[in-house]
Amino acid sequence: MANIIDGKAVSAQVKEDIRQEVEQLKAKGIEIGLAVVIVGDDPASQVYVKNKEKACETVGFNSYKYALPAETTEEELLALVDKLNKDDKVDGILVQLPLPKHLDDKIIINNIRPDKDVDAFHPVNVGKIMIGDYSFLPCTPAGVMELIKSTGTDVAGKECVVIGRSNIVGKPQAMLLLHQNGTVTITHSKTKNLKEVCARADILVAAVGRAKMVKADYIKEGAVVIDVGMNRDENGKLCGDVDFEDCKEKAGYITPVPGGVGPMTIAMLMKNTLTAGKEHHGVN
């Protein structure tokens, strides 16, 4: 039986470290604020936004929520982003995605000040991640790195396989593994012999969005298996990209869904917001 990686516990520790630092900053009169913008009434987005507000409360940040109607125009949303860019109380800005279809994610993200872009989605921040000179970590991939670290695994020299090549997870994940000297392969829907490629991995990160796609024959005995997927199975139950029941005997370490990567993403968002706040206040 694999060791199950407890994302809730690891994320609680990350948030506790942040809370203590925030307390010290408050003693010096420094407060940190995160603005979260949600457009429309997508139920999943509403849950994510509520969890982000809760996390702000836990660590001691001020959170400013802007819930805008689905009919909000691009002009109106850009006007809000501009206002938040200029607001000294706001250290981080997060526009919850997906936006309604008539709004272009790219245009909105490109207008967030890069030093307030705590998602690390702005092209300037994406570029910095590429060259390894970054202050903001892409939240989900950074959370995955924390989980790998919690297993005591040294990434250097390991075979790392990432399933999925999204801009939000797959590509930045590969960069973070590479920065830690992993030997990294990115796989995707056109990859030949996917099963065999995955079975070479000492560290396998699944971020493909297909329920229970990764079976025991995709993994090497003793591998670290990190599941970024968040899907519904045939019974409507939350599940990952990895078939947990099938893989749990063979993996060395494995994340559950829920309770694995999910809580880490928000913890890393808090970390980025702290970094932004410290930078804005000239604190190291």
Burial 198-207 (b: 16+ CB within 10 A, else e): bbebbbbbbb
Question: Whole-angstrom Cα distance, residue 138 to residue 155?
Answer: 18
Annotated catalytic residue: which of 96, 117, 220, 243? 96
CB atoms within 10 A of CB 196: 11
Q: How far is CA 130 from CA 4, 82, 89, 269, in A?
A: 31, 27, 30, 19
Residue among 104 and 154 whose Cβ is closer to ligand GUN: 104
Residue among 74 and 246 whose Cβ is closer to ligand GUN: 74
Annotated catalytic residue: which of 52, 158, 212, 220? 52
Given a contact cutoff of 8 angstroms between Cβ atoms, the answer to whether 139 and 119 are in contact is: yes
CB of 97 to ligand GUN, least distance (A): 4
Residue among 11 and 96 whose Cβ is closer to ligand GUN: 96
For 212, which DSSP code?
T
Known catalytic residue at 105: no
CB of 154 to ligand GUN, least distance (A): 27
Two structure tokens written together for 206: 């699944």
Given a contact cutoff of 8 angstroms between Cβ atoms, the answer to whether 279 and 125 are in contact is: no
Annotated catalytic residue: which of 91, 115, 117, 119? 119
What residue is closest to ligand GUN based on CB?
A: 97
Give residues in contact with ligand GUN (CB under 6 A).
48, 94-97, 119, 139, 265
Known catalytic residue at 96: yes
CB of 169 to ligand GUN, least distance (A): 9
Residue among 60 and 92 whose Cβ is closer to ligand GUN: 92
**Residues with catalytic roles:** 52, 96, 119
